[in-house]
Structure 1
């Protein structure tokens, strides 16, 4: 893989890690950041090894058509990582779901206009591949996990069960929009759906997915257990993956000529009971809440929820559950957020 690549959403958790991975491999990178970002907000990107010579940052907004023309111009590949995250919005249908769908069209239009883009790797989410059907029943025997589409109407109708439904709906509808656009415009698009992403982070804020992985920490370091309950309801399991594997998988799918369609990206799945046992055994001095007190431990493990499609193509995951949590905790320690007995 040679040339220049654009990372749309380079200031996010996965996006910044992907920029770092591409620079480490010697590539030139165009990365888009939110227009509200100032110099003091993006120092973590500007200080990456190789950034001074090979990284160019662009302000771009998913809501603005043509906003991505300049950053994508001259790039042979685009990693489309950006996604709206304003989940406290009073109008999530327009400000989250609507922005995600229109933003997908805007970015892919710029890819077509550039005429140099050979492939787009679209960062979707495992939340678009729920085994639930429109009646809320779980299918545990799929021919392919990637054949599932999360039932948007069902999760919209059950918002108490799915408190982050705007995210689930926005990612699902945005990916479906990407596939429709790609077919209509003869654009080579491959999508990847990471599960709950952990590991180290270089952003100045704590990524939401890290907070989800560490929801059992006391205080304000995690997220409400209802978020975890919605994940269990959606998947029948708690799926996790390391951010380094996610970045490597993106690059692998960009490079691999045989890649096509959708790819789930997860390294491990487990129940809440299994997670609690793992945390207590591996980190005996860590102060945690009782995970089973707020969560129903009877959620079945969906053993068919695996990343077979990408591994069958030749990709290998390098990080397991231990590394995912070790690196999360290491980042928290640096911020002074871990409490021990």
Structure 2
């Protein structure tokens, strides 16, 4: 809600001041971490890798790679034809699909295999159009690759240990 209010204020101010505003709206951002700490996006992934989430939600989430988000900002800044709003989203996944991708890349982690809500139909992913960014030349990184690189980065920065068969998984904050 706060982001929507801030964007509306930006549009109002731009109109008032006669500024040509172009907005890039990224969804949940994945990929290698620049900062040394865990952020909200990585917590979203960590809970499945550490075993703290015993089930996954009957929900969907849209994802984009951090490098794609950076390039989207560059493209809308440098291309004179850029205008309006740009949704920066590679794809939307059900949480079940997310844990399946993580389990495929990292079978050593205790991934949940059951949905928390098995009574209701599986939630359908949101469909966001990223065509405007594609038209500017952005080639999106597949979410599977972004997830892989997120986990590798968490391991390299010491936030996630690589488990041995008999070990439990440790997370450092």
- TM value normalised by structure 1: 0.43
Question: Shift in Å at residue 294 of structure 1?
Answer: 6.2
**C-alpha separation between the residues in 2 aligned to 1:314 and 1:202?**
24
Match of 1:255 in 2: 78
The answer to whether the 8 A contact 2:30-2:41 is kept is yes
User: Which structure has the larger Rg over C-alpha atoms?
Assistant: 1
**C-alpha separation between the residues in 1 aligned to 2:48 and 2:137?**
35
**C-alpha separation between the residues in 2 aligned to 1:257 and 1:173?**
26
Bigger relative contact order, structure 1 or 2 (CA pairs below 8 A, ≥6 apart): 2
**C-alpha separation between the residues in 1 aligned to 2:138 and 2:34?**
25
Q: Deviations over 1:278-305 (max 9, x none)?
A: 2222222222234523686610133x32
Question: Shift in Å at residue 332 of structure 1?
Answer: 1.4
2:145 to 293, 305, 323: 323
> For the aligned residues, what is the CA RMSD?
2.5
**C-alpha separation between the residues in 1 aligned to 2:162 and 2:112?**
11
Match of 1:289 in 2: 112
The answer to whether the 8 A contact 1:263-1:307 is kept is yes
Unaligned 5+ segments in structure 2 are 166-173
Does residue 1:179 correspond to 2:11, yes or no?
yes
SS in 1 for 2:147: helix
Does residue 1:271 correspond to 2:94, yes or no?
yes
**C-alpha separation between the residues in 2 aligned to 1:338 and 1:240?**
24
Match of 1:306 in 2: 129
Unaligned 5+ segments in structure 1 are 1-168
**C-alpha separation between the residues in 1 aligned to 2:91 and 2:20?**
29
Q: Deviations over 1:6-51 (max 9, x none)?
A: xxxxxxxxxxxxxxxxxxxxxxxxxxxxxxxxxxxxxxxxxxxxxx
Question: Shift in Å at residue 202 of structure 1?
Answer: 2.0
